[in-house]
Chain A
Amino acid sequence: MSVTHARAEPSIAGVGDYLELMKPRVMSLVVFTALVGLLIAPGHVHPVIGATALLCIAVGAGAAGALNMWYDADIDARMGRTAARPIPAGRLAPGEALAFGLTLAVGSVVVLGLLVNVVAAALLAGTIAFYVVVYTMWLKRLTPQNIVIGGAAGALPPAIGWAAATGSLAFEPVILFLIIFFWTPPHFWALSLFRCADYARAGIPMLPVVAGERETRRQILLYALILAPLGAAPWLLGYAGARYGVVALVAGAAMIAFALRLRAEAPDATANKHAASKRLFGFSILYLFLLFAMLLVDHTAAVLAGHLA
């Protein structure tokens, strides 16, 4: 038996390629939701400890992104949206991405455990493992429910932020988790509607590829109907004030309206075929940002009012 030892070419990967591996846009949403979880938690967290927690959560999210790009390099190469990523574009070797991702994953969890607390570190470790192993390696290529179940990883950052501040969990971060969890399917299915050909070419069983556009639009509406009242739950349960409640109800109603328009849109072959799905996709990002920003505004206003009183 002959064994060929291929000598690796010296790397030409720049710092920017490594930063791109960390999916900075996803990371920004993770950091923002974690920040809200951290700040609305009861008690006081020292700014340095809070910033350290956010840094670790950001790096942990980047590690998950890098490991995802390492494992999915083959399907990334077949999709227009992802073909220019560092590995399929040939700027970075898969082994480099794997080593980078593992180093950041271990480093972020260890530093969070040492400098903040063990509960937050355990949650971060679980989130990274869930995203990489359960979503990327297992569900993504197996079932159209991939992003439904895998969405749990993206929904955990507010809980990690809360745990970083308090050292424990409560019902309130669970509500925040549920909001992001039920937000994920309409968000990603709207994307997959106008990227359906890409996903089909890559062999990823996204819902529109497997069950068709009509069924996808129906399920987006169902999730929007669950999401709207869930978005208002922090106000209904007394965790947030009327300011938040009004914004959550209006934004939730808009989300349902966008989903209804998407459901009503005829799946014909006109040039503007995916206008409704693109609008819903764009609004879904604004929706999540609005809800979490309002939680922060509401909490800050309540704290200021308390100080003044």
Chain B
Amino acid sequence: MTTTDAIMTDANDGAKAEPKPQPGIRLTDAQLRARRARSIAIALALGVLAVLFYIVTLVKGPGVLVRPL
């Protein structure tokens, strides 16, 4: 088989073959659901933390930075 034949054969195979899967981890549906639930929980926790700091700042007023031992 000549080099040109080989190139033609590869080109024909490429036209027929399915697209190759990308390398890496493919998550199952269960893993995707679990990850989404964890992400939402982390977002909520961070939101609560931000609100907590905001409210405590309002409650303590200028004294918010005063933390005597």
Residue positions of A touching B, CB distance < 8 A: 10-15, 18, 46, 48-49, 52, 55, 111, 113-115, 117-119, 167
Contacts of A114 in B (CB 8 A): 67
B: residues with CB less than 8 A from A are: 25, 27-28, 30-31, 34-35, 37-38, 41, 49, 52-53, 55-56, 59-60, 67-69
Contacts of A49 in B (CB 8 A): 56, 59-60
B34: contacting residue among A11, A48, A52, A167, CB under 8 A = A11
Give complex CA distance A118, B60 in Å.
Answer: 16
Assembly CA distance A118 to B37 (angstroms): 34
| Minimum C-beta distance from B23 to chain A (A) | 12
B37-A14 in contact (CB<8A): yes
Cβ contact within 8 Å between A113 and B41: no
- The answer to whether B35 and A11 have CB atoms under 8 Å apart is yes
Could you say which of A10, A111, A119 contacts B25, with CB atoms under 8 Å apart? A10
The docked-state distance in angstroms from the alpha carbon of A14 to that of B52 is 25
- B67 near A113 (CB under 8 angstroms)? yes
Would A13 and B38 count as touching, CB distance under 8 A? yes
B37 A15 Cβ-Cβ under 8 A: yes
CA separation between A234 and B41, bound complex, in Å?
42
Q: Which residues on B sit within 8 Å (CB–CB) of A18?
A: 38, 41
- With contacts A14-B37, A48-B55 known, what are 12 further pairs, Cβ within 8 A? A10-B28, A11-B35, A12-B31, A12-B34, A14-B34, A46-B59, A48-B56, A52-B56, A111-B49, A113-B67, A114-B67, A115-B52
B47 to chain A minimum Cβ distance, whole angstroms, is 14
In the bound complex, what is the Cα–Cα distance between A14 and B30 (angstroms)?
10
Which residue of B27, B41, B52, B68 is within 8 Å of A10 (Cβ)?
A: B27
30 contacts between A and B (CB under 8 A): A10-B25, A10-B27, A10-B31, A10-B35, A11-B31, A11-B34, A11-B35, A12-B31, A13-B34, A13-B38, A14-B34, A14-B38, A15-B37, A15-B41, A18-B38, A48-B55, A48-B56, A48-B59, A49-B56, A49-B59, A52-B52, A52-B56, A113-B67, A114-B67, A115-B52, A115-B53, A115-B56, A118-B67, A119-B69, A167-B69
Which one of B27, B38, B53 has the highest number of Cβ atoms from chain A below 10 Å of its Cβ? B38
Min CB–CB distance A46 → chain B (angstroms): 6
In the bound complex, residues from chain B placing their C-beta under 8 Å from that of A118 are 67, 69
A305 to B67 alpha-carbon distance, docked (Å): 33
Closest Cβ of chain A to B58, distance in Å, is 9
CB nearest neighbor in B for A56? B52
Please, how many angstroms separate the alpha-carbon atoms of A111 and B28 in the complex? 37
**Residues of the B chain whose Cβ atoms lie less than 8 Å from the Cβ of A167:** 68-69
Q: How far is the CB of A67 from chain B (nearest CB, A)?
A: 18
